[in-house]
Chains A and B, each alone.
Chain A
Amino acid sequence: MSEFVYLYRGGSREGSPEQMQQVMHKWMAWFKQLSEKGYIKNPGHPLERTGKLVKGSQKTVTDGPFAESKDVIGGYSLIEARDLEQAVELSKGCPIFEREGMVEVRPVMQMNM
């Protein structure tokens, strides 16, 4: 088994209360399904949309966002899967795709030689 990080990018923040609740139910159902099958190493955390960017030799500090708002990372999870192919396959159930978002699937680098 290998580890992967899902970076959740973008995704609409609009919607009626009823729609928001339905989206939440879908996320919870998806997480539940993945964790029951042992694919979730750590559910991870959501990230605030705000923050600071420190940059360059001058260490210039600027306010976020750091990317196009449609690409902002909204959270991450740590996944355990057989290989990249399976990790990608598992990500396809993520409800973020119904809300114009995307999932970046990145293998965690093995640190043993």
Chain B
Amino acid sequence: MTLPTDHLFRREAGRMVATLTRIFGVHNLALAEDVVQDAFCRALEVWKFRGPPENPSAWLMATAKNRALDVLRRERTARTFAPELGRLLESEWTLAPAVEEVFASKAIQDDQLRMMFSCCHPRLSEEAQVALVLHILCGFSVDEIASAFVSSHAAIEKRITRAKKVLATSKKLFDVAAAAEFSARLPAVHRALYLLFNEGYHGASPESAIRSELCWEAIRLTAVLLEHPQGATSATRALAALMCLNASRLPARVDASGNLSSLLDQDRSRWDQELVAEGVKLLELSATGSELTVYHVEAAIAAAHARAFRAEHTDWQMIVSLYDTLMMIGPSPIVALNRAIAIAQQEGPERGLEEIRAIANSDRLRTYPFYHAALGEFELRTRKHAIARDHFRTALALARNSMERQFYEQRIAACECNAARHVP
């Protein structure tokens, strides 16, 4: 008896809801979710007695399809379903073939895309879009999202409930065949997937397992986008490259004793070379055309790190010039901070400090622990141990989880130990 692969239910939940919503209509999202829950209950009942079937995904999809047919037959006079399928669902002659067609595997792929674009509705905030994608397409419960975002159940529930209302009033799912609308909404979809990935990569949740799952979900959905002819743009490839290259470092972010490991200290032999190769290939493919997005530049920066087998081989000059480009096309205090860190690597800690002091709107960085940590690191390198320690203490106070706290405590200890050693 073999157990189904990890997270099968969660992954199938997204596919089933997206497909069922296509038949039921987006206003019946709750009904689609009920049918999915019912399919899981049936799977649970049957599989626990008989073991999982040969193809668990197909079994779940077929069960959802049969439940959908039951619901359509039972409620077709009482409810209105998807306007696109409208009349086909009214007669028994056309009902089953219409449903069969929606459940064809190519259609299911498109349904996920349709739902992805629908979730990135312009009336929703970026945060709401990301929560909705996670909930509907990735099958995360409110509690699981709250835990990943280090937020309360109530706050996430409110965000998702409101977002679902907006989705329901949009009447129809997004039409991915409408070329102009597709291109117009594509940047919002990129942005939501990028934020989803970053929540996993830089997020606050102390559980690295949850966080890497967010990264994998973002990569999976970006791959769905890449398979659509209109979705496979240069920017999508750059975004996918960026995700692969950064995700290649996930196995090395926590060292053998369970402590956070910074980029320069990581054991680079633990970087996933398959993901690096995939990322590099995607980055090369993304170079066609004249479009240059922040994803292109960030992917190029990640590639520069990936190319250095040892931290001291890093081409900092190239990284600084990429950050210069990033400051032109997508400036932000965080980009400026990262640029300052790269300059410090190349030209020394004093130059890093100078650059940090020159950051415009640096007040926006005051609550960002890495800002204080960078200041601490540069002061430590210039042997101003007491000042460095104060910066790390500020970072410690802002740390978002126990792993970060432990990291800053070690840095504070390093300052104190060095300070004692340098007393004349």
Q: B-contacting residues of A (Cβ < 8 Å)?
A: 13-21, 23-25, 27-28, 31-32, 43-46, 74-75, 77
Contact at A16–B49, with CB atoms within 8 Å? Answer: no
Contact at B1–A32, with CB atoms within 8 Å? Answer: yes
Contact at B41–A13, with CB atoms within 8 Å? Answer: yes
Contact at B44–A23, with CB atoms within 8 Å? Answer: yes
Most chain B Cβ neighbours within 10 Å, of A14, A20, A77: A20
C-alpha spacing A32/B54, complex, angstroms: 18
Which of B12, B41, B51, B144 sits near A28, CB closer than 8 Å? B51
Contact at B48–A31, with CB atoms within 8 Å? Answer: yes
6 smallest CB-CB distances across A and B, nearest first, come from: A16-B141, A27-B48, A46-B45, A17-B9, A21-B9, A17-B13
Min CB distance, B147 to chain A, in Å?
11
C-alpha spacing A45/B49, complex, angstroms: 6
Closest to B143 in A: A16
C-alpha spacing A51/B420, complex, angstroms: 80
C-alpha spacing A88/B183, complex, angstroms: 63
Per DSSP, chain B at the interface is: helix
Residues on the B chain within 8 Å of A24, using CB: 9, 43-44, 47-48
C-alpha spacing A77/B49, complex, angstroms: 9
Residues on the A chain within 8 Å of B9, using CB: 17-18, 20-21, 24
User: What are 5 A-B pairs with beta-carbon distances under 8 A?
Assistant: A14-B37, A17-B139, A28-B52, A45-B49, A46-B48
B407 contacts the other chain (Cβ, under 8 Å)? no
Residues on the A chain within 8 Å of B37, using CB: 13-14
Residues on the B chain within 8 Å of A32, using CB: 1
Q: Total A-B residue pairs with C-beta atoms closer than 8 Å?
A: 65
B4 contacts the other chain (Cβ, under 8 Å)? yes
Please judge, given known A-B contacts A17-B139, A18-B144, whether A25 and B3 are in contact too, CB under 8 Å. yes
Q: A-contacting residues of B (Cβ < 8 Å)?
A: 1, 3-4, 7-10, 12-13, 37, 40-41, 43-52, 139-141, 143-144
Contact at A46–B13, with CB atoms within 8 Å? Answer: no
Contact at B49–A44, with CB atoms within 8 Å? Answer: yes
Contact at B141–A19, with CB atoms within 8 Å? Answer: yes
Min CB distance, A36 to chain B, in Å?
11
Residues on the B chain within 8 Å of A17, using CB: 9-10, 12-13, 40, 139, 141
C-alpha spacing A31/B51, complex, angstroms: 9
Contact at A46–B12, with CB atoms within 8 Å? Answer: no
C-alpha spacing A18/B1, complex, angstroms: 20
> Known pairs A16-B141, A21-B10. 15 more at Cβ < 8 A?
A14-B37, A16-B143, A17-B10, A17-B13, A18-B140, A18-B141, A19-B141, A20-B9, A21-B7, A24-B47, A24-B48, A28-B1, A28-B52, A45-B49, A74-B45
